[in-house]
Chains A and B, each alone.
Chain A
């Protein structure tokens, strides 16, 4: 048992560390910090969803926040419409809710839609993108344009979305359950653990192996008889659903949602978190999210000007010094140490053949 534990890759220890840290955090922190950690936990789900797509499959989405924001907007609109015509609409002279409001007023349907719509959007987009063999940087460009389109679209539909001001005053509810900060935090951490387990299961399965081989060499995968497009559409859809779920958990902590939550800003931020943490191993996505978000809030409390400088420095450091990210580097070190140990063992055995 102990031997088996020792053989685990280093990042599984970090995973355990992060999960324990998330669980005990509220015992030492005030409600404000717990609320912030809740947002970070929702971001961790978001980062995990993108890690499946980018880290494992090699599809660098520059518009992943669209899927996150759509999930958030579903619950946001549901809360907003539940009290009848909201203030911002009546100020524009609108006295009737739009036709789809009656659907969204049902919290359970809205919550389901928050997962389904981002998943469906990803699947449809994936169908057109991957069957037309769009690859590499062009996938990134299309998704980037998508982020810009959605951000502008939601900002301009002010009769429904309240424009750039967004929807505010949203309660801490998830699938009809309304909770105080700490219980809601534990609910979110529970979802983080589930999503983490799901991603781990996926990445270890045959499906996960297929994804990795798409990243490494897509042509070879099709030579052996698999259709890469199908795998890519599937992972994009799964990733989209998880991103939507993350958005639905983020909005209650945030208390509001505005078009910036589905724009390019957040889309690039999440890429940076994963790059710093290390991609393609789940741990890096969670660790990077945790480190960057906490550094940002602590440093900006200390001095507002310093944060962009530190972030820029971190990005440069990752690119030039540890291109595989923090966790990638640690795994590398562990691998090298193990290799040295094995080599030593082999050479020792060779020296003492008569024993």
Chain B
């Protein structure tokens, strides 16, 4: 009897396996016809950053649908192939190879982590294809095959440091994960402070994954800064904010200013812990403009009221729109001519009008400083009067 059950189980398992395999083979077939334009979407649906990237996937799907509803690209339908890179750089390189070589997509919109972007760059360069990277990041020597739609440090820091010095206080304490990114933005912060008569009263770096900040918080208390300039990766950041509260530091007298504080961090911390801290970014979901309200309304209608929108989601939406506009302007779908077609495009994104910078393949963006209010929502406290020119190699 026991044996029979085992046999049955084996058979069911085998049947299920062969069915899924067959299904995957069928779906592997090319369904689109020649009049379609196919793009690739490469985000994490599984893995450590899956929660953050969910709104990027949603936003990209929504952008494609809206483009098709509005008549497609010069009459052609825009279709996409989605691949999951599972927050793993090697998988990202593998999947973008598949999108370019097997699916023969015109361009890929995707990547969130810097590691995944760096892994994908050689692949797009080797195949002379195009990647649109929709995430704010640390900046780099721009690749000729990549368009970067997110903010680079100067687009966040140029307004942030002077504003903090003027409105919060001139004594800064710098804390970051020991990475190129944190060291870079901290050195930019130090330079900016030197220009406006500010002062750095302490600087600390912790290794990746560090989560005990008791010693550092003691140092912070001794140094007594006005602003804590903190850029900690992932879980380190969450741990710091919690211990900040436990050790009795107060956002009213010593607020944290961070590039890495976004809607999802605030959600992880809860409104009480996150209230009173600052970030500088080009988009927050609470932005009070008609364009943003209508964008969020369409988004929530499609994905439900609980679906979150963050800066990377908005940038992904803008990326697909930018790509569509460029494709409308050219008949030759090579990376070179698509990027050439982007030159001079002013895009009406949910964050407002932004323009493409042909010199760096980045975007001119409006800088915004936002403070978390007592309900855990971002309130924009300052907006740069002009679009800020990107300087990715600063």
Interface residues of A (CB under 8 A from B): 30-33, 35-36, 39, 87-88, 91-92, 152, 155-156, 158, 162-166, 168-170, 254-258, 260-261, 265, 295, 297-308, 310, 313, 317, 321-322
Contacts and interface: CB of A to CB of B under 8 A. Distances in A.
Interface stretch (B96-104, B254-262, B291-299): B96-104
A61 B118 CA distance: 31
Interface stretch (B80-88, B220-228, B264-272, B330-338): B80-88
A30 B140 CA distance: 33
A134 to B, nearest CB: 26
6 contacts: A158-B178, A164-B179, A257-B90, A302-B27, A305-B45, A321-B10
Interface string B118-146: 11011100000000000000001100000
A255 B93 contact: yes
A91 B93 contact: no
B180 A91 contact: yes
A302 B122 contact: no
Contact of B102 (A33, A87, A169, A257): A33
A158 B183 CA distance: 11
Contacts of A152: 207-209
Interface in B1-56: 6, 9-10, 13, 16-17, 20-21, 23-25, 27-28, 45-46
Contact of B88 (A91, A260, A307): A260
A307 B46 contact: yes
* Interface residues of A, dominant DSSP: helix
Contacts of A258: 89-90, 115, 119
Contacts of A301: 24, 27-28, 83, 98
B121 A168 contact: yes
A35 B97 contact: yes
A256 B89 contact: yes
Contact of B89 (A87, A166, A305, A317): A166
A327 B121 CA distance: 40
B209 A298 contact: no
Contact of A168 (B113, B122, B179): B122
A299 B102 contact: no
Contact of A298 (B24, B119, B180): B24
B114 interface: yes
Contacts of A321: 6, 9-10, 13
Contacts of B98: 32, 36, 297, 301
A41 B52 CA distance: 33
A23 B86 CA distance: 30
Contact of B90 (A91, A164, A261): A261
Contact of B118 (A155, A165, A260, A297): A165
Given A256-B119, A302-B28, A307-B46, A156 B183 contact: no
B24 A302 contact: yes
Nearest to B12: A317
B94 interface: yes
A300 B114 CA distance: 22
B184 interface: yes
A156 B207 contact: yes
A320 to B, nearest CB: 8
Nearest to B126: A255
A203 to B, nearest CB: 28
B326 to A, nearest CB: 26
Interface of B: 6, 9-10, 13, 16-17, 20-21, 23-25, 27-28, 45-46, 82-84, 86, 88-90, 93-94, 97-98, 101-102, 113-115, 118-119, 121-123, 140-141, 178-180, 183-184, 207-209
A166 B180 CA distance: 12
Task: Report which residue of B6, B102, B114, B119 has the largest number of chain A beta carbons within 10 angstroms of its beta carbon.
Answer: B119
A158 B46 CA distance: 26
Contacts of B46: 304-305, 307-308
Contacts of A265: 88
Given A156-B208, A256-B90, A298 B123 contact: no
Contact of B82 (A156, A304, A313): A304
Most buried by A among B90, B178, B180, B184: B90
B20 A163 contact: no
A304 B45 contact: yes
A299 B114 CA distance: 26
Contacts of A87: 140-141
A164 B208 contact: yes
Given A155-B208, A165-B115, A321-B6, 4 more contacts: A163-B180, A261-B90, A297-B94, A303-B27
Contacts of B141: 87
A302 to B, nearest CB: 4
A303 B220 CA distance: 48
Q: Which 3 A-B pairs have the closest CB atoms?
A: A304-B84, A302-B24, A304-B45
A353 B191 CA distance: 102
A158 B84 CA distance: 27
A28 to B, nearest CB: 14
Given A32-B97, A256-B93, A168 B119 contact: yes
B20 A299 contact: yes
A106 B187 CA distance: 35
A298 B24 CA distance: 6
Nearest to B16: A313
Contacts of A295: 17, 21
A300 B98 CA distance: 12
B188 to A, nearest CB: 12
Contacts of B24: 298-299, 301-302
The winner among B6, B20, B82, B178 for most chain A CB atoms within 10 A is B20
B18 to A, nearest CB: 11
Nearest to A322: B10
Contacts of B119: 166, 168, 255-256, 258
B115 A91 contact: no
Contacts of B122: 168-170, 255-256
A153 to B, nearest CB: 9
Nearest to A153: B207
A92 B93 contact: no
A293 to B, nearest CB: 10
A303 B27 CA distance: 9
A88 B180 CA distance: 8
Contact of A156 (B101, B178, B184): B178
A228 B342 CA distance: 68
Nearest to B28: A301
A165 B102 CA distance: 26
A179 B341 CA distance: 36
B101 A298 contact: no
Given A30-B101, A163-B180, A36 B94 contact: yes
B152 to A, nearest CB: 13
